[in-house]
Structures are given as C-alpha cells and as structure tokens.
Amino acid sequence: MDYFPGYVEEELEDQPLVENPAPRELKKEKSSLMGKLNELRVRFAKKALAEEKEEASWKEMKERNKDLCADMVSLEAQITLLELEIAKKSREVRFDEAHDGRQLMELNYEKKRFLDCIKIFTYDGKKDVFNFVPILGRSQRHLRDALYDRQKRRRNPVGGKQA
C-alpha cells in the first residue's frame, strides 16, 4: 500500500547518523558466550561440591576438572576479544552504511502541492463543463459518456493495441 501517493522522493545529500547495528550483534554474541560460561561455572561448582573432601585443595579440583577449566578460560578469552571489538566500533554511522547502501529519502512537498493543484484544476474544469450541459440541451450523462468514449479512443486508437 502506498502511504505517500503523489509525493516525489529525493535522496538526501547528507545522510543522518544512526545507531551502529554492528555492536548490537556483537553484544548478543557476548551474552550467549556469558551464558555458556555461567553454565560451565555451575557444572564446576556442582562437581566440586559432590567431591567434597575436608582437605581437598583447589589445585586438586582443577586437576580433576581440567576440561571444564580449559573451556572456561577459552570462553573468557573469547568474551574479552568481543569486548575489544565492541569498543573499536563507532556508536553512530551514516544511514546508508548501516542499511547496506540504501539511501534515506526525503519527500518533496512542493512538487506534491503542484501536482495536487493541477488535479484540482482539471477536476474543476470537468465540473464546469458538466455545468454547461443543460445550456447546450444535452443531459450530463450523455456528455459524460461522450467524454468517456473520447478518452477510450485516445488510449486505444482504432486498429492499434492498448498501451
């Protein structure tokens, strides 16, 4: 559906600054990694509590759960790298850069007003023609049909195809 019928769109010379979508995607990725890291920490805590010994040291627990510790360290490193990437990205970018080259358009109101004036002028002209019909002694319907036929012939000349 055309919400702006008759308006002429023109490209803006200076595209406005908008929020950069790249950091938002990186933040989503970071939050998913944080969730995985928290799951690993919970698993490590459950194992540590299940193997509860009075004199168990952290070194012994880490040795028994090397795989979980290695996964936690790698996730922490990935999160740190994502934080650095987020810090590098600018907060605002031009509209066309944020939307894959699509330009923000501006509606030209002056051209719309001009076209509306022409439409009103032609409407009023047709209305005035129909007002003269009783003077000519013909019915308005007869004149309307004649104008309609003339318009049809103009669009579809005899022997020609419809454009």
Give SS3 for 157: coil
Lowest mean pLDDT among 19-23, 39-43, 88-92, 107-111: 107-111
* pLDDT tier for residue 13 given thresholds of 50, 70 and 90: confident
Q: What is the pLDDT of residue 1?
A: 53
Exposure string of 35-53, with b = 16+ CB inside 10 Å and e = fewer, is eebeebeeebeeebeeeee
Question: Per the structure block, which two tokens stand in for 2?
Answer: 């055309």
Cβ–Cβ < 8 Å for 8, 107: yes
Question: Per the structure block, which two tokens stand in for 117?
Answer: 């004036």
Average pLDDT over residues 91-113: 79
153 Cβ contact partners less than 8 Å away, ≥ 6 residues apart = none
Q: What is the pLDDT of residue 163?
A: 44
Query: Which is more confidently placed, 22 or 9?
Result: 22
Q: What is the pLDDT of residue 2?
A: 60
Q: What is the pLDDT of residue 55?
A: 60
Q: What is the pLDDT of residue 80?
A: 93
pLDDT > 70? residue 121: yes
pLDDT > 60? residue 135: no
Query: Which is more confidently placed, 149 or 23?
Result: 23
Q: What is the pLDDT of residue 156?
A: 67
Query: Which is more confidently placed, 76 or 57?
Result: 76
Query: Which is more confidently placed, 37 or 6?
Result: 37
